[in-house]
Structure 1
Amino acid sequence: MSEGDTGAGLSADEIIDIVDERDRVVGQARRADAYERGLRHRAAFVLVRDGEDRIFVHRRTARKLVFPSLYDLFVGGVLGAGETYDEAALREAEEELGVSGLPRPEPLFRFLYEDGPRAWWSAVYQVRCELPVSPQPEEVAWHGFLTEQELARRLGEWPWVPDGLEAYRRLLALSAEQGAQPES
């Protein structure tokens, strides 16, 4: 997913909510300022499966502010000021996949991602997309739908965004606890 995206979603000048360690809004800032100052904010991650239960995987473009040219298992992005996680999950999924009429993503869990000076609350969702996708060229340099087995092989071969890997590890652990794979 990675939170540091620009393009059709939020620009560096747009205002985002700044949150505390409990995910409560404590202020607002320009997106670029939040990144520069390491202010905690919010992001939505959406795991997308197709009709054959394959997972949408993509490589981010080189122009991304954060984690350029790395692979990602999620679509998503930063929430705008006053935007809910649910609203952002649907907006970001439709924008990045290049579709409209996507079912509302199902919320799974939230966690605080921390990477040195950067931190963001991350809401993880899943959705099934049986529509033909046409990902944004500004966001996505390559994409494909991979089986769980193909994905497991690629996890050790390709360079991945660290926040997406952390979300996926947590999703797998949650699925193991529940005794089933996540589905839409």
Structure 2
Amino acid sequence: MNLPVDEMVAILSDAGEIIGAAPRSAMRRDNLRHSATGVLVRNPAGDIYVHRRTPVKDVYPSYYDFTAGGVVAAGEDPFHAVVRELDEELGIAGVELTRLPEGDYADENTTYHAYLYTCVWDGPVRHQPEEVEWGAWMSPAELVAKLDEWPFMPDTVGLLGPYVRSLTINEGWDSHAWIDGPWIHRAARRPEVRPRLLAEATLLPWLAPQLPLPVPVPEPTADGVRHLMLLGEPFTDGDEATGRALGTFLKALHAVDPSEAVAQGALDVETATAAKTLELNDFRTRIVPLLPPDKHPAAYELLDRVARVRTALIHCDFGPEHILVDNGRITGVIDWTDAVIGDPALDLCWILNGAPRAVAAGFVEVYAPTPELIDRAQDWARLSPWYGVHRGLRLDLPDDVENGLRAILNQL
């Protein structure tokens, strides 16, 4: 903030009303409640500008920050203060500002009501020497990692930390992802996952024109792949029209040429069968012995039935978390890392056994699954708790094992 030490600052009540004014030095000395601004600056690639404050700042000297902002002067319009501070601190002017939710912050050093904004800037950054001694662009993922390593302004972290974290995605076991502008980047967490990520960059561009719903179209990057973001939230509810749209989608997916799909990057039958055989054998040797002996025959029969069919290209993890919806309209089907030549009944598992009844009815109307497909989809549903038990055994999570075994017995 470029206000002189004795410039008058508007002072606020706890209710946010202006109740007077005080010199900046008195506001700092007595930690009086005031108004302040903050602008989070991003470039067109989605990176965030991070800077380090100078040692002469009157609060949090030499701390890192990811907003440009400062104190609102007495009689100053808050938006004017936003524009002024952004120009003074980083040399950014004439940019469109997008308003973020206002907030309140208080600690032993500062107490204020915050006017918060974000903007996109693709020009040069000019530091005010008295305010900023270093700055650089960071991706949201890089910034989130630095929040745990560097001393950042606690007020900025408190007010906008959740927003910055929302710009990153953590996809767990196989890969992690983050958002940069309009792009979603994904990188493998383990070396064996990387080839599957790269396979998406050949499979999905070939597959997308054959499908009636949008899918990501990735391209390779130095550490994985990236694709333009598909808008929408994970599926939570729908109607028969939703089901018909999903039926049309899966019918088209399961009709593509399997041999061409393999040529484009899908896991082939032999590789997929070998991997599935290892997994099911582990189920046989580690999980079945934990079940009552009289349940063993039914358990072995279930494992045999799901191991046999490999006839179509399938998504392999087709469920509500991977179906995006916006205003009741399906906007995309995501997460194709496990796409494989396999049993189409696996893709039908959730929609026939877990989706809302109206969605399932619309799906059946269009897809028209055979009785055999319906039975195998139910088998895949029965197998679902086995994966929880398997994970619990590998990671020593006894509660997961106990709960999963109970679910297995209920479904056998």
TM-score bracket for this pair, using the shorter chain length: 0.7 to 0.9
Structure 2: gaps spanning 5 or more residues: 169-178, 182-412
Which secondary structure does the structure 2 equivalent of 1:78 belong to? coil
Return the letter of the residue paired with 2:122. Answer: E
Q: Deviations over 1:53-87 (max 9, x none)?
A: 11000000011110000100111000011112211
Are residues 1:155 and 2:157 paired?
A: no
Please state which structure has a larger fraction of its residues in helix: 2
How far the C-alpha of 1:138 sits from its partner, in A, is 1.2
Distance 1:182 1:66, change over 3 A: farther
Contact 1:60 1:71 survives alignment (8 Å): yes
Distance 1:91 1:51, change over 3 A: same
| RMSD value, Cα | 2.1
The 2-side partners of 1:121 and 1:128 are apart by 24
Q: Deviations over 1:129-150 (max 9, x none)?
A: 1121111111111100100111
The 1-side partners of 2:167 and 2:63 are apart by 25
The 2-side partners of 1:42 and 1:141 are apart by 25
Q: What is aligned with 1:122?
A: 114
How many residues align structurally? 171
How far the C-alpha of 1:122 sits from its partner, in A, is 1.1
Please state which structure has a larger fraction of its residues in strand: 1
The 1-side partners of 2:180 and 2:44 are apart by 14
Structure 1: gaps spanning 5 or more residues: none
Return the letter of the residue paired with 2:88. Answer: E
Which secondary structure does the structure 2 equivalent of 1:76 belong to? coil
The 1-side partners of 2:54 and 2:133 are apart by 5
TM-score, normalised on structure 1?
0.85
Contact 2:140 2:164 survives alignment (8 Å): no
Contact 1:75 1:93 survives alignment (8 Å): yes
Contact 1:56 1:73 survives alignment (8 Å): yes
The 2-side partners of 1:82 and 1:143 are apart by 31
Out of 99, 110, 115, the residue aligned to residue 107 of structure 1 is 99
- Percent of aligned pairs with the same residue? 36
Looking at both structures, which has the greater relative contact order when contacts are Cα pairs under 8 Å and sequence separation is at least 6?
1
The 1-side partners of 2:180 and 2:112 are apart by 23
Q: Deviations over 1:97-143 (max 9, x none)?
A: 1233233x222111210103631111111111112111111111110
Contact 2:38 2:82 survives alignment (8 Å): yes
Give the greater-gyration-radius structure (CA): 2
Return the letter of the residue paired with 2:117. Answer: Y
Out of 115, 122, 136, the residue aligned to residue 128 of structure 2 is 136
TM-score, normalised on structure 2?
0.39
Distance 1:145 1:108, change over 3 A: same
How far the C-alpha of 1:171 sits from its partner, in A, is 2.6
Out of 15, 29, 50, the residue aligned to residue 22 of structure 1 is 15
